[in-house]
């Protein structure tokens, strides 16, 4: 099994390199501009890649994938259209579906079977989405945090192209959407701290400590970030991917407090700890942001690290109890009403 995993990792890296080599000469000059983090600047390390491959060969795990079916609540498209409350549904990994002030909004919609450049190899879903991209009603706004495969799903975006009014993305990410048929007129690119108001809802792109790229030669040529979504009634924070950094405090000072934070909690490892948080850091980020209630995301859908699949939820639950923060962990597809978040705080921990 480990040999297959490592072989798959090497093949995926090879395909990404090949795609990058084919496409790099077709990139316009401005796409080659490199973005960087505010506090930590990294560089590609072949030694680090060898270390990761070694870890995949040697680290022992009890439950890399669930041994029982993950509970999924089906979402009805007609009910979405008729919904009158402000609600959110976790679709899996970091994908979220909101109904806010009458607008349907999606964050990082990923519906493909694998988070990979190949749909026959790479991290495979533990569960199916609670609604298909084909049966989704028309969407008002899609926000995307960055261009990695587990956050920007080109197959899904191609199907959303004609049923979505607006796409809000970080700088230079729009090119990926145009490649799959999204009209340029629908795409709004923002830099950190820039805002856009649509249907009375303000969306602000805020910094994270991460990186971008879908191949080895386009690294950091597109921007990454998190999103503040403020309806006037609800103030929400969607983290995308990030390592822990002082930017969370700055965002909390500028835009907090937040009624609900969606914080990356999963796919962490000491070898990439600058760009993905450990669960204890995720809780601290929530505190820095002045969050009232936290929902951990970026877990329980794909195997993207070396911890057991349920470990992120175990650890974040323990840390939230220790720090006395309010944590909700809905099942995939569960309807969460934002006006009464505390009712979900003590629900049964489904992964147990």
Q: Is the pLDDT of residue 143 over 90?
A: yes
Peptide bond into 257 cis (omega under 30): yes
List the structure tokens of 169. 């993305």
What is the pLDDT averaged over residues 95-109?
98
The span from the first CA to the last CA of the chain, in angstroms, equals 26
For 174-230, the pLDDT digits (tens) are 999 999 999 999 999 999 999 999 999 999 999 999 999 998 889 999 999 999 999
Three-state SS string over the chain comes to: CHHHHHHHHHHHHHHHHHHHHHHHHHCCHHHHCCCCCCCCCCCCCHHHHHHHHHHHHHCCCCCCCCCCCCCECCCCHHHHHHCCCCEEEEEEECEEEEEECCEEEEECCCCCCECCCCCCCCCECCCCCCCCCCCCCCEEEEECCCCCCCCCCHHHHHHHCCCEEEEEEECCCHHHHHHCCCCHHHEEEECCCCEEEECCEEEEEECCCCCCCCCCCCCCCCCCCEEEEECCCCEEEECCCCCCCCHHHHHHHHHCCEEEEEEECCCCCHHHCCCCCCHHHHHHHHHHCCEEEEEEECECCCCCCCCCCCHHHHHHHHHHHHHCCEECCCCECCCEEHHHHHHHCCCCCCCC
Percent of the chain's residues with pLDDT above 70: 89
Q: Is the pLDDT of residue 311 over 50?
A: yes
What is the pLDDT averaged over residues 132-140?
98
CATH number belonging to domain 76-344: 3.60.15.10
248 Cβ contact list (under 8 Å, min separation 6): 284, 285, 288, 289
Domains of the chain by residue range? 76-344
pLDDT of residue 313: 98
Buried b (16+ CB within 10 A) or exposed e, 178-215: eeeebeeebbbbbebeeebeeeebebbbbbbbbbbbbb
| Lowest-confidence pick of 5-9, 84-88, 113-117 | 5-9
pTM of the model: 0.91
């Amino acid at each position: 099994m480990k040999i297959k995993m490592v072989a798959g990792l090497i093949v995926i890296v090879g395909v990404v390199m090949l795609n990058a080599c084919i496409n790099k000469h077709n990139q316009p000059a401005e796409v080659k501009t490199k973005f960087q983090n505010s506090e930590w600047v990294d560089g590609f390390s072949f030694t680090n890649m060898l270390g990761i491959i070694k870890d995949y060969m040697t680290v022992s795990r009890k439950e890399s994938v669930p041994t029982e079916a993950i509970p999924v609540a089906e979402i009805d498209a007609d009910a979405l259209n008729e919904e009158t409350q402000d609600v959110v549904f976790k679709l899996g990994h970091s994908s979220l579906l909101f109904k806010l002030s009458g607008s349907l909004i999606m964050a990082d919609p990923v519906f493909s079977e694998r988070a990979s450049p190949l749909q026959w190899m790479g991290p495979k879903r533990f569960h199916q989405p609670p609604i298909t991209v084909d049966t989704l009603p028309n969407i008002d706004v899609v926000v995307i945090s960055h261009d990695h495969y587990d956050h920007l799903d080109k197959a899904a975006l191609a199907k959303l192209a004609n049923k979505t009014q607006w796409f809000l993305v970080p700088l230079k990410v729009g090119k990926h959407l145009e490649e799959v048929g999204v009209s340029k007129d629908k795409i709004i690119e923002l830099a950190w701290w820039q805002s856009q108001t649509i249907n009375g809802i303000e969306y602000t792109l805020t910094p994270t400590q991460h990186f971008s790229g879908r191949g080895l030669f386009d690294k950091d040529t597109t921007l990454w970030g998190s999103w503040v979504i403020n309806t006037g009634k609800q103030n929400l924070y969607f983290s995308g991917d990030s390592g822990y950094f002082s930017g969370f405090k700055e965002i909390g000072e500028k835009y907090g407090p937040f009624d609900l934070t969606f914080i990356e909690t999963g796919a962490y490892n000491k070898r990439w700890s600058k760009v993905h948080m450990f669960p204890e850091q995720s809780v601290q980020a929530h505190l820095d942001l002045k969050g009232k209630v936290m929902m951990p995301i970026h877990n329980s859908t794909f195997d993207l690290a070396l911890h057991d699949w349920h470990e992120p939820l175990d650890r974040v639950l323990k840390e939230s109890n220790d720090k006395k923060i309010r944590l909700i962990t809905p099942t995939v597809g569960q309807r969460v009403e934002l006006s009464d978040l505390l009712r979900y705080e003590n629900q049964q921990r489904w992964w147990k």
